[in-house]
Structure 1
Amino acid sequence: MTNGLANRLLQRRENPRRTSFLELFFDLAFIFALTRLSRVLLDDLSMGGGFRVLILLAALWWVWFVTAWSADWFDPRAPLIVVLLLWVMFGGLLMAAAVPTAFDSHALVFAVAYVAIHLGRGALLLPALRGHRLQSRSARVAIWFAISGVLWIVGAFVAPAREILWALALLLEYALARLRWPFPWLGRSTWPELQVNGDHLSERYQQIFIIALGELILIAGVTYSGSGMDRESTVAFALAFVTAVALARLYLVPAGTRLGAAVVAAGPPGSMLALMAGYLHLVMIAGVLATSVAMEMTIDDPGGRDNGQLAVGVIGPALFLTARILLAAAVDGGLPWARLIGVPAIIVAGLATWKLTQLVSSAVIAGVLLLIVLVDAMPILWRTAQRYDAASRPDR
């Protein structure tokens, strides 16, 4: 027998969904987290440092991602869901605050906050869904988060194995979502059980990507403000802005605004596309984060030369473009050739400028991104010109 509380909590698939104020408020925690992550990466640009930042970013992204899906399934105006979102937001802020020392003195804070977020979600939803057929969906997710939580807590106590245990926990969680959270005796979730509102979730992805770009602009502005605003720093700041604009344009066109329609058109199996889009957005945000650090270093010391800056300056845009190409392929079924060429072009540009100053290398990479935008837009410009020409011809 289905209880009335569950029916009041669940969203109706046919109802149009707009992002609620509380969901946008929840995103503020992610802004703080990105600024902390950029600090950590800036302090350690080694491969080990990059790996640790990737673990922290993947954990924070998983908190945002699972919460975004929960807010899609449930009515964010319901008092229980309001409590849930505030609980997750506070836990996310604790995780973000612990980021700089998450692999040192505050590992336990980071791990406990992460596990508490996911187990707390189950503790709130399972009683509310009692008697509803979707209770088993939340039960599977909660059980697996309890199992992976062991790896998080043990990793917090065992410093030598911390990176490995936390990475294994994340691989387990990401893989289980792809497998639809199978568990003995409970089976696995069906695609109708996991169905999402494509338009709403696509909008949430766009919003969180804009937040990532906002972090790039914010850090660039703060660094420029404290740089003395000399000529070279001003040029570097302008390059950061141009880079952010290019990334925004490459994100939105062509498939950035069509993801929601593709998910809706696919029906319940469209949740698979929405899930893969979530994974690819993690890669794109990682690329923006690396680019942000590279631009900060350039603004701070335009005439300097640092191999770490060059590495993140190349890896960041290349990661973003690779994930964006895969998203376009998933949504449109094709590969944008200009962007395919753009990835090796960025790598070649980095190799060609490794002996030059940070300002020159940043300028060259920004130039490559602008060139990709231009070539990418040529078919659209050509079609627009043809329509204008046809409309301006006199009737014969």
Structure 2
Amino acid sequence: MAGGLPGRLLLRRENPGKVSFLELFFDLAFIFALTRLSRALLDDPSLNGAFQVLLMLAALWWVWFVTAWSADWFDPRAPLIVTLLLWTMFGGLLMAAAVPTAFDGHALVFAVAYVAIHLGRATILIPALRGHPLQVRSLRVAIWFAISGVLWVVGAAVAPAREVLWALALIMEYSLARLRWPFPRLGRSTWPELQVNGRHLSERYQQIFIIAVGELILISGITYSESGLDRDSTVAFALAFVTAAALARLYLVPAGGRLGARIEAEGPPGSKLTLLAGYLHFVMIAGVLATSVAMEMTIEDPGAHDAGQLVVGVIGPALALTARILLAAVVDGSRPWARLIGVPAIIVGGLATVRLPQLVNSAVITGVLLLIVLFDAMPGLWRFSRRSGERDASDQRRHGEQPDA
């Protein structure tokens, strides 16, 4: 079997699993998708508009997540896997292009592209895995995606039921992954069958989060360049940049690289942690997307009083920070007090500025994020300072000098 087609497709589990160029190329589709989603939310920041954007983001995230999980098992240099990634990328671009009108005239484009991505993956992999245990795993997943695909297509065709049917399809898909895709007579996947290279998936999560933060900077920069570059817009743009830097720092430090090691240490059961991390990253990216929209609204009109801007401006950072706290708790049990206090502080800060211009709202929330970063870093700075002092005192003793008081 090792010399057959499955053997040539699969990576060895001891392979370091470095992210390939093609995977990074695939992420370009997600950059485009995030810009379309932020524009859709900006055009309709109502509760219904936000729910529609959430559904589309959940679908696009599921495409990215399932593809990243699949790519972890296969050699990205194999021609068949190259074809699979390019197929998924093109389908993702079609979905992203349809985002602005996915609940109007182009629902069928969005839904059919989504279903075609998942069924196309099965069409490519199932024949290629003939004789390998992973063929049954791929078959289970394909059957369930075919069933949920009916909800997607019917929802696209029946406008009044679209949100409900698409939401049901997503709930079913996200839940079935946690249940390991059970199906009558085919059983369910075992955790070893779902085992991943933790360091590879952890690196992919980091990259996609940085892409989300990069979208915040990109959209803020484009909006600022079209704003006339006046004083208030410049301040708003600076706040957007500081917010992006703070969110990136809060994500990467201190446990940015610990997820992979924890997954590897757990072995096959680590797949449950990988899946949970996928759900939490979805929440984090949703939070960054909402923050991006809030900053864009602030740059466009710093002196306006907009309830929609206030809501997304508060919910965005609060969501991202809450999901990051939960991820840290799951990975290493840490519960940093600054972050725990920071979530209610963001909400209180937003409520306290409800009658003030949105530039003030953004400044307060950015200030809270900076304080969280500062207090987050203080224990590390204290330990560094103490170690430096101990080294200096040791050097002085070594040279016969009296240590400084």
The question of whether the paired residues in 2 share the 8 Å contact of 1:220 and 1:296 is answered with yes
Equivalent position SS for 2:397: coil
Q: Which amino acid aligns with 2:185?
A: W
Q: Which amino acid aligns with 2:360?
A: V
2:202 is aligned to 202
The question of whether the paired residues in 2 share the 8 Å contact of 1:155 and 1:162 is answered with yes
Deviations 1:269-294 (A, max 9, x none): 11111111011000000000000000
Q: CA deviation at 1:10?
A: 0.7
1:368 is aligned to 368
Aligned partners of 1:256, 1:272: CA distance in 2, in Å? 18
Q: CA deviation at 1:2?
A: 7.2
1:192 is aligned to 192
The question of whether the paired residues in 2 share the 8 Å contact of 1:3 and 1:132 is answered with no
Q: CA deviation at 1:7?
A: 0.8
Q: CA deviation at 1:340?
A: 1.0
Aligned partners of 1:335, 1:180: CA distance in 2, in Å? 30
Deviations 1:258-317 (A, max 9, x none): 111111111111111111101100000000000000000111111111000000000000
Q: CA deviation at 1:395?
A: 2.1
Pick the structure with greater CA Rg.
2
2:238 is aligned to 238
1:277 is aligned to 277
Equivalent position SS for 1:84: helix
1:83 is aligned to 83
1:341 is aligned to 341
Q: Which amino acid aligns with 1:395?
A: R
2:267 is aligned to 267
Equivalent position SS for 1:323: helix
Deviations 1:36-64 (A, max 9, x none): 00010001111111100000000000000
Q: CA deviation at 1:3?
A: 6.9
2:52 is aligned to 52
Number of residue-to-residue matches in the alignment: 396
Range with greater deviation from structure 2 (336-345 or 104-113)? 336-345
Q: Which amino acid aligns with 1:310?
A: L
2:166 is aligned to 166
The question of whether the paired residues in 1 share the 8 Å contact of 2:125 and 2:138 is answered with yes
Q: Which amino acid aligns with 1:312?
A: V
Deviations 1:130-171 (A, max 9, x none): 111111110111010001000000100110010000000000
The question of whether the paired residues in 2 share the 8 Å contact of 1:2 and 1:132 is answered with no
2:99 is aligned to 99
The two structures, once aligned, show a CA RMSD in angstroms of 0.9
Q: CA deviation at 1:343?
A: 0.6
The question of whether the paired residues in 1 share the 8 Å contact of 2:140 and 2:182 is answered with yes
Task: Structure 2 unaligned segments of length 5 or more: list them.
Answer: 399-405
Aligned partners of 2:132, 2:96: CA distance in 1, in Å? 35
Q: Which amino acid aligns with 2:81?
A: I
The question of whether the paired residues in 1 share the 8 Å contact of 2:354 and 2:361 is answered with yes
2:394 equivalent to 1:395: no
Aligned partners of 2:173, 2:337: CA distance in 1, in Å? 33
Aligned partners of 1:139, 1:383: CA distance in 2, in Å? 53
Equivalent position SS for 1:356: coil
Deviations 1:174-200 (A, max 9, x none): 000011111111111111110000011
Aligned partners of 2:216, 2:275: CA distance in 1, in Å? 25
Aligned partners of 1:174, 1:133: CA distance in 2, in Å? 23
Range with greater deviation from structure 2 (343-352 or 254-263)? 254-263
Aligned partners of 1:350, 1:110: CA distance in 2, in Å? 35
Aligned partners of 1:333, 1:116: CA distance in 2, in Å? 40
Q: Which amino acid aligns with 1:378?
A: M
1:130 is aligned to 130
Deviations 1:24-46 (A, max 9, x none): 00000000000000010001111
Aligned partners of 2:13, 2:79: CA distance in 1, in Å? 20
2:390 equivalent to 1:385: no
Aligned partners of 1:239, 1:367: CA distance in 2, in Å? 9
Q: CA deviation at 1:253?
A: 1.1
Q: Which amino acid aligns with 1:90?
A: F
Q: CA deviation at 1:257?
A: 1.4
Equivalent position SS for 2:31: helix
Q: Which amino acid aligns with 1:315?
A: I
Q: How does 1:244-259 map to 2 (within 5 A)?
A: 244-259=244-259
Deviations 1:363-393 (A, max 9, x none): 0000000001111111111110111011111
Aligned partners of 2:198, 2:104: CA distance in 1, in Å? 40
2:401 is aligned to none
Q: How does 1:31-50 map to 2 (within 5 A)?
A: 31-50=31-50
The question of whether the paired residues in 1 share the 8 Å contact of 2:2 and 2:8 is answered with no
The question of whether the paired residues in 2 share the 8 Å contact of 1:284 and 1:320 is answered with yes
The question of whether the paired residues in 2 share the 8 Å contact of 1:246 and 1:370 is answered with yes
2:297 equivalent to 1:316: no
Aligned partners of 2:181, 2:363: CA distance in 1, in Å? 46
The question of whether the paired residues in 2 share the 8 Å contact of 1:94 and 1:109 is answered with yes
2:157 is aligned to 157
1:108 is aligned to 108
